[in-house]
Structure 1
Amino acid sequence: MDYVKGIFKARPNRFIAEVEVDGNLEIAHVPNTGRCKELLVKNAIVWLKPSDNPNRKTKFSLHFVENNGVLVSLYSQQANSIVYDAVVEGKIKELLGYNHHQREKSVDNSRIDIYLENSNGDSCFVEVKGVTLIIDGEARFPDAPTERGAKHLRELIKLKKEGNRCCVFFLIQHPAGEFFRPNWENDPIFSQTLNEAYAEGVEILVYRCDNQLSGIELIPEPLDFDLGKSLTNRIVDN
């Protein structure tokens, strides 16, 4: 099904947006619980996926927003699928050599996004985070405090101490992102926990995706990161 072009008007709450489509005001589901304030600004061009479910409360889902001439993917859960498909297709060099691939592995009271295992029984847990906030070319996560995100990091630390390989995978869903840094200003707890995880041996992988209305693909070139605080705070906006 093709995307429908719309004009963003307002976001009454984190789950829905008011958008103008062909001169009519429509309600669209926002599949991203982040703030996205620098992206969802009034009159921004958005791209909507229509729903054919007659029981749904919203007629559309908001998948993309145009920002500085590029498409930014707001479908945060899609990040998991993009990374999983890239692992299976051998596009992520750090995650080659695994012949068992599984989505959503339950561990204690958490679910880790991707579980990998090789023929020797060696395991790897991968937690995926989609990133849309860009400040001076730096991709920052999270754009709003996330207790759940910090919980996942603590779970990875525990798994690493038990002898497993563990990774946090930051997928930059905004083409302007060239580098990754945790968002100390918005969530110092997550940022500090990420530092602790890295010190314990949890790996950090950063990649970017190519967003097109015809499809989204991971670009198989890793990006650098810095876990310290930044001195700049200029947000990329319209």
Structure 2
Amino acid sequence: MQLPPLEEGRLVKRYKRFFADVICADGSELTIHCPNTGSMLNCMPANARVWFSRNDDPKRKLKGTWELVETAHGRLACVNTGRANALVEEALRNGVITELQGFDQLKREVKYGDENSRADFRLSFAQQAVYVEVKSVTLGFADSTTAAFPDAVTSRGARHLRELMALAQAGEPAVLIYCVNLSGIDSVRVAQEIDQLYAQALTEAAKAGVQILAYAADIDPHNGRIALSHPLKVILE
């Protein structure tokens, strides 16, 4: 995926969840949009290197969007969670996600389940449909190459797991993909210390037959490119 043209700056602070102040290369200060609803643990150290895109749309109050950051542990992370679905779709269409190769049709945001959910993707194969949920992972740790999800309590994430589990129990294929938007990672685990209910739901979903996958993103801020490249180990506790 080719990102919009990026500018490098320094983070001043993130606040009110969706706002971030940055110092631009010319020394000016700019308030940009932070497209991330999570806690962004380890993704917003003071004076962190950030990369953002500009937007000249007169309808938008904020003229920039935060895309990438160098974390407290020296890793690169894509903090724009809106990129995760596009990255996974690109990887699906290019055959990178080998477990889901060979589909005939891909549909986005498909209603399903009893809790008014929308699957990120429904893949149609010759004999069946597969429902796919995507989660963006950016939580890393200084002394480990294992990333974790979630970085904040997520009742929505637990609901999606319940919906996937119901599909699997009914004999319909259901897949959860962790899109790991963090460099230097070789595995993913559930952040039980942050959200025990989500951790329990993940364990139950896996036992019910939901397929849990994780794929790593290669992030290149200099050329403005990011793409999923290879699978990662999923650690289920």
Q: TM-score, normalised by structure 2?
A: 0.91
- What's 2:109 paired with? 104
Instruction: For residues 144-200 of structure 1, give each alpha carbon's deviation from its aligned partner in whole angstroms, at most 9, with x where no partner exists.
Output: 000000000111011112221001100110012211100000011111100000000
Partner of 2:231 in structure 1? 222
**Is the alpha carbon distance of 1:138 and 1:70 closer, same or farther for their aligned partners in structure 2, counting shifts above 3 Å?**
closer
Quote the residue 2:126 is aligned against. 119
Task: Give 3-state SS (helix, strand or coil) of 2:92's partner.
Answer: helix
SS at match of 2:233: coil
Alignment-derived partner of residue 175 in structure 1? 183
1:169–1:204 contact (8 Å) kept in structure 2: yes
List aligned pairs for 1:1-238, cutoff 5 A.
1-21=4-24, 22-67=26-71, 68-108=73-113, 109-120=116-127, 122-135=128-141, 136-213=144-221, 214-219=224-229, 221-228=230-237
Runs of 4+ more than 6 Å apart: none
Moved more, 79-88 or 33-42: 33-42
User: Which TM-score applies when normalising by structure 1?
Assistant: 0.91
Kept in 2: contact 1:157–1:202 (CA 8 A): yes
Stretches of structure 2 lacking an aligned partner (at least 5 in a row): none
AA aligned to 2:191 is N
Instruction: State the percentage of identical aligned residues.
Output: 37
1:205-233 C-alpha deviation (Å, 9 max, x unpaired) = 011010123211111x32112122xxxxx
- Which structure 1 segments of 5+ residues have no match? 229-238
